[in-house]
Amino acid sequence: MNNFFLLQKTHTICSKQNSQVKELQKIIFSNKYRHTKKLLWIEGKKLCESYFQNIKNPKKITFVFDASTNKDNIRMFLKENIGIDINFICLKSDLFREISQIENSSGWGIIVQFPKIQTKRMSMDDLIILDGIQDPGNLGNIIRTSAAAGIVNIWLTNGTTDPFSPKVLRAGSGGQFLIKFSFFSDLKEILKRHEITQMQVLATELKGESINLFHKKVDLRHKCAWVFGSEGMGLSQELVKKNKLLSLKVPHSKKIDSLNVASAVAICLFEMKRQRSM
């Protein structure tokens, strides 16, 4: 049926007890439910545009909008995305505000399936491993930086926050639609993987006998697996030594205790790109 016709026939939901409202709330606010259903909430024009730019031919989406939203903006969206099966949900303004994750929201968002990223190579190129990154802003920035640096694979341990939560999606600025995520119980499980044995495994830490990232003997021209630990604890020195990871540090003023983990990721990845461009 024509999406423009369906839009006109959509009734406004006024009760928070409505089953569709409850379903929306669980998708948006529950990490466990989101992963069980493999559905995510994308809000904001730029983020939605990024989704459609990078995820080709999505089969079905649910378009959720505030009843007071200008319908011309919605019609413009429909014209740009003809051929997609769209289910519409119209919410009373106060209900939409309860689920909205953006201040001064445009008044609409979409529910879509988790992106399925297809990698072109059978073998793995560079890899980012994140162990216990808990701050949504940090994780989102790491994802955004990784995508900008051409990283395709990110592996996460159970202690890491959900890369598909609304806050991380916003901070990632669409990076989630370019990267394939894999989930593991802990770092020990990851370091036993066959793929890792084919790569140079690098850990960033300030303690121990870390090598200056910019030292001439640090060669990043071959496949790298970068391991970054949590904001507070970092990586276990025992684990680093036991698994013979190459320990690196980003030199900085001693007046500052440490760099933000997202900043460290950016410096490491673009030093790698710099070396490979020479």
Helix and strand numbers, DSSP H then E, in the chain: 12, 12
Q: In this predicted structure, which of 17-31, 112-126, 217-231, 260-274 has the lowest mean pLDDT?
A: 112-126
Which residue among 86, 113, 140 closes a domain?
A: 113
Residues 93 and 133 in one domain: no
Q: In this predicted structure, which of 32-41, 42-51, 117-126 has the lowest mean pLDDT?
A: 117-126
Mean pLDDT of the 17-26 span: 96
pLDDT in tens, 164-221: 999 999 999 999 999 999 999 999 999 999 888 889 999 887 666 788 999 999 999 9
Q: In this predicted structure, which of 64-73, 84-93, 249-258 has the lowest mean pLDDT?
A: 249-258
Dist. CA 264–CA 87, nearest whole Å: 42
Residues 48 and 136 in one domain: no
| pLDDT at position 117 over 80 | no
Angle formed by the axes of helices 261-277 and 136-148, nearest 10°? 10
Residues 131 and 265 in one domain: yes
Task: Quote the pLDDT of residue 78.
Answer: 77
Burial of 242 per CB tally in 10 Å (0-12, 13-18, 19+): exposed
DSSP label at 96? H
Mean pLDDT of the 91-98 span: 95
pLDDT in tens, 125-175: 899 999 999 999 999 999 999 999 999 999 999 989 999 999 999 999 999
Task: Quote the pLDDT of residue 161.
Answer: 95
> CATH code at 95?
3.30.1330.30
Residues 252 and 188 in one domain: yes
Which residues span the domain enclosing 146? Answer: 127-277
Task: Quote the pLDDT of residue 59.
Answer: 77
3-state secondary structure of 110: strand
Residues 64 and 162 in one domain: no
Task: Report the domain count for the chain.
Answer: 2
Dist. CA 147–CA 173, nearest whole Å: 10
In a domain, 139, yes or no: yes
Residues 153 and 244 in one domain: yes
Task: Quote the pLDDT of residue 252.
Answer: 84
| pLDDT at position 122 over 50 | no
| pLDDT at position 104 over 70 | yes
Dist. CA 81–CA 131, nearest whole Å: 38
3-state secondary structure of 209: coil
Q: What is the pTM of this model?
A: 0.89
Percentage, residues of the chain above pLDDT 90: 59
Contact status, residue 140 vs residue 147, Cβ threshold 8 Å:
no
| Amino acid identity, position 41 | W
Which residue among 83, 113, 143 closes a domain?
A: 113
Residue 240: band (very low, low, confident or very high) from pLDDT cuts 50, 70, 90: confident
Task: Quote the pLDDT of residue 118.
Answer: 60
Dist. CA 91–CA 15, nearest whole Å: 9
Mean pLDDT of the 232-255 span: 80
